[in-house]
Structure 1
Amino acid sequence: MFKSDVVLTLEEKIVRIERLFDAPVQLVWEVWTNPVHIEKWWGPKGFTNPTVEFDFKVGGSYRIVMRSPEGVDYPVKGKFLEITPFQSFVISDLVDEHPDEWVRDVQKMAGVTGDRDILNSKLRVLFEEAEGKTKVTLFTEFASNQIRDGFASSGMKEGWSDSFEKLETNALPNPNQISLEKKLNHPQELVFNALSNPLTIDTWWGPSGFKTTTQTMDFKVGGKWIFTMLGPDGKVWPNTIKYKEIRKFDYLEYLHGSGEENKNDDFLVNVYLIALDKNQTLIKMQLTFPDTNVRNAVIGFGAIESGQQTLSKLNQYLEHQNEST
């Protein structure tokens, strides 16, 4: 069984932490940038992440609330400063919402006083692949070497070691799958109806900037939804969805492809609608491709971002419908 230890070194104002993962860079990048996976591994052992907000774009914000086994919340937040896909990203790491007791403890270890802002940092995450494995290196930059040493003494290595172990055992997706999810503040029935209504699905389906046009939609097991998507560049993309299973109002299973006879490009989609309460639904989508190469190719075309944009448009459509009633 593959095993890799965390290595911590100190540089000028920087704590450097690195670890090797037995997975290609596409998978490791995804578990760092997709909130569906982040909640499964972020934080030390025993910690959960009830809130993961991740607007993964330059200038976008993130906020992760880590909850200890004792029920104490440790929110971290910041902005994405730089992104180079599958190579690196840089974020600000702000401790504005951390508990006062934690701030006092870290300041004591660092031998500093004053506003908590002095504990804020910047994190660069670097991804390097070689022979199917991916080395992840974290460069956390602090305001001074004194604060760097205080954080290094506060359990950074142990905390990241726990997180990385959870990442490897709990979060890495299957190499031929993509997972998406989004919480919608709408009843389960309304979300299901939006997915099944041929008269309105064109108004929200597809990534930002795309126009969807339905030719036919026979929403039943064995039925097909045939539609085209017009991209911002004017290219038309044919699509066919073949429904394999439908459970009103909580589950859909279908094959999605171009519908072209000379192409074998279908992939399986499982859609789960989970009622969290009367007016809140978690939509989870799992896309399964024929093999890893196909999955990586569609990720390269922006499949994850496109899926997230589509779910956001669904949420906006439902909000508009709610305002109209």
Structure 2
Amino acid sequence: MTSNLDREGTAAARDHAEGRFATLTFERDVAAPLSVLWQVWTAPAARAVWSAPKPSVSAEFLEADTRVGGREVSLCKVEGQPDVRCECGWLELQPALRSVNYEVVSSGGVTQSAALVTADFSGAEERSRLVVTVQLSSLAENMEARYRQGFDAGLGNLAGVAGRTMVLQRVIQAPRTIVWNAWMNPETLPQWWGPDGFSCRTQRIDLRTGGEWVFDMIGPDGAVFPNHHLFTEVRPEERIAYMLLWGENGPKHADAWASFEEQDGATKVTLGMALSTEAAFQEAKGFGAVELGLQTLGKLERFAKSRWDAVA
């Protein structure tokens, strides 16, 4: 008589043979610092840029809460085909070290697969490494092959985006509410935005999801630089995301995001910017975009601290 253990072992072997369960590993060396890679992996605005595996697929993010216990819901859309829904739940987030999330994929209301995704990060100053392990349980045919194709393409996109992304950070000695209100207030944002010596001339400003800021930046020598920011997400006191255009309705040159984290009574501001092309990234680095961006955050700090000192 065959024992229960024998039957269970036979069933498990059959499931593996049929491709129901699989452990997949993906590795990428990335030409970007570890801090940048982590931001591109976790920041919703960046994930929206690289997550679609190929140009014929578009990704729409319905929900994104990147913290332990939070979840992300997105739709992969291909013309003429049912949308594929992906729900991701964050189980562990150790900055620049490891993330763990579950992932459930469905189509037409029917679950196709469930997976546990572990991402391990390592690296040095200019290069970093990402190892992603996917423990997959398939409920539909060909999910292992689809996961291999999707993750391989998506991580290739991620490496490209990380290689053209700048990340700037500053800890501002003022409460998050003060810093947020300095940024997301149409009266105050133009007062400090831009590097040292620059000023802003606003044409229109509407700081909400779906809103915009059309303005000119004016340099110390009087040179005028037309700008158009389109706000794709505003999550009060947590983060914003926006697209940067060269002038009103001009070509897009970057996707940007800013996050605001409480830190012992201060506020850690992280500003990320993924340039649209490698050439644009190199050009921006060449004219000192990192230094100019840090000057902008310095102006924000001075403005926010003056507001805090006035009420403290």
TM-score, with length taken from structure 1: 0.47
TM-score, with length taken from structure 2: 0.49
Specify which structure has the higher proportion of strand.
Answer: 2
